[in-house]
Amino acid sequence: MNTLGLAWRYLWSRPLSAVLNVLLLALGLASITFLLLVANQVERAFNRDLAGIDVVVGAKGSPMQLILSGVLHLDVPPGNVPLSAVNALKNNPLVAEVIPISLGDNFQGYRIVGTSLAYPQLYAATLAQGRMWDAPMQVVLGATVARTLGLGLGQTFAGSHGLAGGGHAHGDSAYTVVGVLAPVGGVLDRLILTDTASVWKVHEDYTAEDAQDRAAMEEEREVTMALVRYRTPLAAISFPRWVNTSTEMQAAAPALEVTRLLHMLGLGTDVLRAFAGLLLLTAGLGVFIALWSAVRERRGDLVLLRMLGAPPTRIASLLLAEALWLGILASVSGLLLGQLFMAALVYFLGLDSVLLTGGLQWPAELAVVPALALAVSLTAALLPAWGAYRSDVLQLLQTR
Amino acid sequence: MIKTSALQFAYPGAAPLHFPDVDVPQGVTLLLRGPSGSGKSTWLALVAALVPPTAGSLEVAGQNLTALGRVQADAWRARTLGFLPQKLHMSVALTVAQNLGLAFWAAGVAQDRRRVDAALAAVGVAELADRLPEQLSGGQAQRVALARAVLMQPRVIAADEPTASLDDDAAREGLQLLHSTAQRYGATLVIATHDARVGDFFAGPFAVVPGNVQTLRLPRLERLEVAA
């Protein structure tokens, strides 16, 4: 039996105390694991949906709203912009690609996004069934939409006005499903894609009174925003300023806005982090009390070990080894518990593919959890170990 | 063998204790007698090299203890001294065999189950190896503790009040076993006791060889404890 084996047996000689200490430590570590996982998944989800979009151009208003509505599809857009203005962007030599986004309708809560074929290409989406649209009023479903609504190829449906469910139904203009995308693990999964022209057609069919009216509307066609990719990274310096000053539109850089958003979320996680720190501190005290009382309880045993020839360092190492076990056990259970919390959050809030990536992730930041566990448990053991190291054999021999 | 000369030990803030000289040949039994508080434990701690003497010389099993450093003293004690404490201090977390294994751990040597079994067999409790201490009777526990003391084949066996809380028959039996075990290993046996039965026992059939038993009688101390 080596020191670790012996420490293991001593630890489990008081199973209740051992379990409680591991649990206490594990709870603090689970909170930290959970926070790390949430931060990691939110960031990854954002970055994934940001893929390749350098700037978003849309109606003036909050730049973050523009990103939240047009890139992450979480918020409503600030307004529409004229199609002609968006088309003019294409002529800018700094611009490589302009992808129009038209929002306005939904089907059963899933957004119908009028766009071009470049939009699914942005996320390297592939078709699971069918084909891409080649005419207005044809739609391609994201994987989650197809799965939850049970829609298949050839089926038709009418969109409702608004971006949430329950708006006025555009009964006369029906969409036909021509394709279903394979899951991309991102925002596309919960979108219904169609040609930009479909959105105009629906609303013109709905509001136009006669042919002349329709012609006037065609002149005033709008899109909600445009996703822009630059030809050169240098464009980031001048292009947004150009848009903001010389057009009626605003440019918002997704990377910037998401960083701002994460920072705002960060203020919330700081509170949770402080709470987790408090839990860890409590757990550290718990370990300290347990080991301290173990030293007092086993004073006789420790003296006997000294009588058997164990040097004080070996006796102190026995206590440190016990703390090491506590730290290891708490690390493992804390990590598992944190993953469980995360999985529960994803499952119960159905946030996967919206804000979170879901699934079991082991980001490198999690290495901080065992490091914290060992730091807390070993620090808590320092004083008891010192006490064991210094135990006065002579005094103990005499107290019977 | 144990040989002391002008041995002294001073607790902090107290007058030094003076111990009478002894010269115990190897294999002989020494009875360390005296009332409670007369310094028996202190004398044992000195002989066990747990504390260095304040003055005087001390030689145990051929080793001059005053010349040993702290680390050397621990290693020497692990090899040379077997200790049978009054409270047996069997760890409840461990089986009997594992409790004996503590001696290997303390000495920093590899576990050797064969030697554990042999030591248990030598005191007649080989079948208890895998029991837990709480499953042992008082007599069995004392035999196991004795097996633990002799596991490393010590040159000196020190027993602290081995007959306390034993009735007459059990005390006699315990002393017999202690003595025969020490004889088997050729070890010097030190028994610290204030129990008159121990003196009577060794004055009887086990004292047939002259000089086989010595007694170190420590006087009652009129010592004022000064709080450190």
d(CA A3, CA A321): 7
Least confident of A188-197, A293-302, A327-336, B162-171: A293-302
Q: What pLDDT score was predicted for residue A165? A: 63
CB A33 within 8 A of CB A337: yes
Least confident of A194-203, A369-378, B187-196: A194-203
Q: Where are the domains of chain B?
A: 2-215
Q: How far B205 CA sits from the closest chain A CA (Å)?
A: 31
Least confident of A320-329, A358-367, B6-15, B193-202: A358-367
Q: What percent of chain B has pLDDT over 90?
A: 49
With 90 as the cut, is the pLDDT of residue B145 above it?
yes
Q: Got the DSSP string for B108-170?
A: T----HHHHHHHHHHTT-GGGTTS-GGGS-HHHHHHHHHHHHHTT--SEEEEESTTTT--HHH
A81-82 and A138-141 as β-strands: parallel, antiparallel, unpaired? unpaired
Averaged pLDDT, B34-43: 84
- The more confidently predicted of residues A130 and A272 is A130
- The more confidently predicted of residues A171 and A78 is A78
Give the DSSP H/E element, type plus range, for residue A345.
helix A312-349
Q: Which of A4, A301, A307 to mutate to test the interface with B (most CBs of B within 10 A)?
A: A307
| pLDDT band at residue A396 under the 50/70/90 scheme | low
Amino acid at A391: S
Averaged pLDDT, B33-38: 82
The shortest CB-CB distance from B75 to any of A2, A305, A309 is to A309
Pair of tokens at residue A263: 């920072």
Q: How far B112 CA sits from the closest chain A CA (Å)?
A: 10
The C-alpha angle with vertex A47 and arms to A89 and A121, in degrees rounded to 5, equals 55
Pair of tokens at residue A367: 């290495």
Number of domains in chain A: 2
d(CA A61, CA A81): 12
CB pair distance less than 8 Å for A400 and B86: yes
Averaged pLDDT, B143-162: 92
d(CA B198, CA B225): 29
Identify whether A258 is part of a domain: no
User: Domain boundary residue among A200, A225, A252?
Assistant: A252
- The more confidently predicted of residues A177 and A169 is A177
| pLDDT band at residue A352 under the 50/70/90 scheme | low
Q: What pLDDT score was predicted for residue B225? A: 45
CB B174 within 8 A of CB B163: yes
Distances (CA, A) of B167 to A184, B138, B154, B164, B171: 83, 11, 28, 9, 6
What contacts 24+ positions apart, CB below 8 Å, involve A15-22? A17/A290, A18/A290, A18/A326, A20/A286, A21/A283, A21/A286, A21/A287, A21/A290, A21/A326, A21/A330, A22/A326, A22/A329, A22/A330, A22/A333
Amino acid at B25: P
By three-state DSSP, how is residue B44 classified?
Answer: helix
Q: What pLDDT score was predicted for residue B147? A: 94
| pLDDT band at residue B227 under the 50/70/90 scheme | very low
Distances (CA, A) of A396 to A312, A313, A316, A317, B206: 14, 18, 17, 20, 33
The per-residue pLDDT for range A310-331, each reduced to its tens digit, is 998 998 999 899 999 999 999 9
User: Based on the domain organization, do A274 and A233 belong to the same domain?
Assistant: no
User: Based on the domain organization, do A12 and A111 belong to the same domain?
Assistant: no
Q: What is the ipTM of this complex?
A: 0.84
CB pair distance less than 8 Å for A300 and B50: no
User: Based on the domain organization, do A36 and A62 belong to the same domain?
Assistant: no
Interface of A with B (CB under 8 A): 1-3, 6, 9-10, 12-13, 298, 300-301, 303-311, 314, 393-394, 397-398, 400
CB A49 within 8 A of CB A70: no
CB pair distance less than 8 Å for B103 and A314: no
CB A84 within 8 A of CB A67: no
CB pair distance less than 8 Å for A300 and B89: yes
Averaged pLDDT, B86-107: 90
d(CA A278, CA B150): 50
Q: How many CA atoms lie within 13 A of A117 on its CB side?
A: 10
With 80 as the cut, is the pLDDT of residue A284 above it?
yes
Q: What percent of chain A has pLDDT over 70?
A: 90
Identify whether A261 is part of a domain: no
By three-state DSSP, how is residue B17 classified?
Answer: strand
> b vs e for B161-176, b when ≥16 Cβ sit within 10 Å of the residue's Cβ?
bbbeebeeeebbebbe
The shortest CB-CB distance from B87 to any of A2, A3, A300 is to A300
Q: What pLDDT score was predicted for residue A250? A: 92
For A247, the domain range is: 55-252
Q: How far A49 CA sits from the closest chain B CA (Å)?
A: 56
Q: CB-based burial of residue B41 (10 Å sphere; 0-12 exposed, 13-18 middle, 19+ buried)?
A: buried
Q: What is the distance of C-alpha B124 from the center of its chain? A: 20
User: Based on the domain organization, do A27 and A61 belong to the same domain?
Assistant: no
Q: Which of B17, B41, B152, B194 to mutate to test the interface with A (most CBs of A within 10 A)?
A: B41
| pLDDT band at residue A355 under the 50/70/90 scheme | low
| pLDDT band at residue B76 under the 50/70/90 scheme | very high
User: Based on the domain organization, do A32 and A100 belong to the same domain?
Assistant: no
For the segment(s) B2-215, the CATH number from 1.10.3470.10, 3.40.50.300, 1.10.760.10, 2.115.10.20 is 3.40.50.300
The shortest CB-CB distance from B111 to any of A1, A303, A397 is to A1
Average pLDDT, chain B: 87
Identify whether A64 is part of a domain: yes
With 70 as the cut, is the pLDDT of residue A400 above it?
no
By three-state DSSP, how is residue A179 classified?
Answer: strand
Give the DSSP H/E element, type plus range, for residue B213.
strand B213-217
| pLDDT band at residue B224 under the 50/70/90 scheme | very low
d(CA A364, CA A341): 18
Q: How far B208 CA sits from the closest chain A CA (Å)?
A: 32
The phi, psi pair for B77, rounded to 5°, reads -65, -40
Q: What pLDDT score was predicted for residue A208? A: 64
Averaged pLDDT, B25-53: 88
The shortest CB-CB distance from A310 to any of B74, B85, B152 is to B74
With 80 as the cut, is the pLDDT of residue A119 above it?
yes
d(CA A242, CA A229): 15
Amino acid at B197: R
d(CA A284, CA A299): 22
The per-residue pLDDT for range A19-29, each reduced to its tens digit, is 998 998 898 88
User: Based on the domain organization, do A62 and A17 belong to the same domain?
Assistant: no
Q: CB-based burial of residue A102 (10 Å sphere; 0-12 exposed, 13-18 middle, 19+ buried)?
A: buried
| pLDDT band at residue B3 under the 50/70/90 scheme | very high
| pLDDT band at residue A388 under the 50/70/90 scheme | confident
With 80 as the cut, is the pLDDT of residue A85 above it?
yes
User: Based on the domain organization, do A96 and A242 belong to the same domain?
Assistant: yes
Distances (CA, A) of A7 to A23, A292, B89: 18, 15, 17
User: Domain boundary residue among A217, A252, A287?
Assistant: A252
Pair of tokens at residue B102: 């503590």
Strand partners, B33: B193, B217
Q: Which residues in B lie closer than 8 A to residue A7 (C-beta atoms)?
A: none
d(CA A162, CA A142): 19
CB pair distance less than 8 Å for B70 and A311: yes
Q: Which of A315, A397, A398, A399 to mutate to test the interface with B (most CBs of B within 10 A)?
A: A397
Provide the number of CB pairs (under 8 Å) joining chain A to chain B: 92
The shortest CB-CB distance from B85 to any of A6, A13, A304 is to A304
pTM of the model: 0.74
Radius of gyration of chain A (CA): 31
Interface of B with A (CB under 8 A): 41-42, 44-45, 48, 50-51, 70-71, 74-79, 81, 83, 85-87, 89, 91-94, 98, 101-108, 111, 148, 152, 160
Distances (CA, A) of A53 to A71, A257, A319, B21: 9, 12, 56, 94
B23-24 and B188-193 as β-strands: parallel, antiparallel, unpaired? unpaired
Q: Which residues in A lie closer than 8 A to residue B70 (C-beta atoms)?
A: 311
Q: What pLDDT score was predicted for residue A163? A: 67
Q: What pLDDT score was predicted for residue B130? A: 94
CB pair distance less than 8 Å for A1 and B83: no
With 70 as the cut, is the pLDDT of residue A59 above it?
yes
Q: Closest chain B residue to A4 measured between Cα atoms? A: B105
Quote the DSSP letter at residue A352: B
With 80 as the cut, is the pLDDT of residue A122 above it?
yes
With 70 as the cut, is the pLDDT of residue B216 above it?
yes
d(CA A282, CA A287): 9
Q: Which residues in A lie closer than 8 A to residue B48 (C-beta atoms)?
A: 307
Identify whether A257 is part of a domain: no
* Contact partners, residue A93, CB within 8 Å, separation at least 6: A231
Q: Closest chain A residue to B91 measured between Cα atoms? A: A301
Averaged pLDDT, B160-165: 87
Identify whether A262 is part of a domain: no
| pLDDT band at residue A177 under the 50/70/90 scheme | very high
Q: What pLDDT score was predicted for residue A395? A: 65
User: Domain boundary residue among A228, A252, A276?
Assistant: A252
